[in-house]
Structure 1
Amino acid sequence: MSAGRAEVQVRPGNEGDLVALTDLYNHYIRETAITFDTEIFTPEQRRPWLLSHPEDGAHRLLVAQDVPSARILGYATSSGFRPKAAYSTSVEASVYCAPDAAGRGIGTLLYKSLFEELQNEDVHRAYAGVTLPNEASVRLHTRFGFTPVGTYREVGRKFGRYHDVAWFEKELEH
């Protein structure tokens, strides 16, 4: 698959990706309010998260990898929305791109692959939370058929200020 002039492979994430995925996520912890985690992770601390996304089922982890260099350019997940059993057909979707890969179509490529795979699973709805402002993420989610369902005002505090989170919903077709 091609994304922004480079050949990019989308595949399931695996333990060999743990260090690169942890480094990518830690960038967003240190530098942005996109995630409300405030302490960086070691790869070992992040391992349970990785293992909670098997290659099949409703909870997936897909990575975008540059083919020539094998460098991870981003990842997308579908994770449990809430722990109670009645929520099992709902997932929370998210996508993170390496800072220098943003704007190259990596997020689009990852979400396209993720939602294609979820078509064969017992998933009825996908939800996504977007810390505001984040026009690129709002555009990406809208492009994939997510619609706004509400905004939690000043729900998280990071870097000494409060942040709103807009929530989006997507019906998954089977």
Structure 2
Amino acid sequence: MNHLEIRSATPQDLPGMTRIYNDAVDHTVATFDVERRGDDHYAERLGSTRPGDHVLVAVDAAGAVHGYAFSGTYRPRAAYDGTREVSVYLAEDARGQGLGRRLYDELLARVDADGVHTCLAVIAQPNAASEALHRATGFEPVGTLREVGHKFGHWVDTAFWQRMRPDA
């Protein structure tokens, strides 16, 4: 996966991002969506000009999307302007090869450069791989919400992880 380019997403990347996302909808609790999304699902995020809002993709030489990461509004209130929620999604064949780390390293560098104070991640439980990625990129667990999602016939907990800007 080292041969993949990490760059800002463009509208042409939306179908590849949607393919990855819909795989997560169908097979994982990484998202609590239970219905597939269309190619326009991330279009609004791509158009954001707010400092701290980014959408990155990892693409091969042919332009195929193998993963993506994004940062965006945590809650739409002015007091939360210094906080962003972050997430990463990878194609099934790209998992476990360090691509999530590469995407997060670039995303967090951009978020830090924009002066964002705090990043939050929500991890459905259990997910040891996601917890390891977040720990490796400076996040720490700060709480668990019990049985807040219901998917695939069972209740799912979510853990909140937080990362403060290193120079904050």
Fold match, TM over 0.5?
yes
Is 1:47 the counterpart of 2:43 in the alignment?
A: yes
2:120 to 111, 123, 127: 127
Conservation of the 8 A alpha-carbon contact between 1:18 and 1:50? no
TM-score by length of 2: 0.94
List per-residue Cα deviations over 1:137-171 (Å, max 9, x = no partner): 00000001101100000010011110000110000
2:149 to 122, 147, 156: 156
Is 1:27 the counterpart of 2:20 in the alignment?
A: no
Misfit runs of 4+, over 4 Å: none
Task: Label 1:46 to 1:63 Cα distance change in 2 as closer, same or farther (>3 A).
Answer: closer
Unaligned runs of 5+ in 1: none
TM-score by length of 1: 0.91
Per the alignment, residue 84 of structure 2 pairs with 91
Q: Give the alignment's Cα RMSD to 1 decimal.
A: 1.4
Q: Secondary structure at the match of 2:3?
A: strand
List per-residue Cα deviations over 1:14-45 (Å, max 9, x = no partner): 10101111111011001111100111011134
Letter of the 2:44 partner, please give it.
P
Per the alignment, residue 145 of structure 1 pairs with 138
Give the drift of 1:119: 2.0
Give the drift of 1:70: 2.2
Identity of aligned residues (%): 38
Q: Distance in 1 between matches of 2:68 and 2:78?
A: 26
Letter of the 2:140 partner, please give it.
T
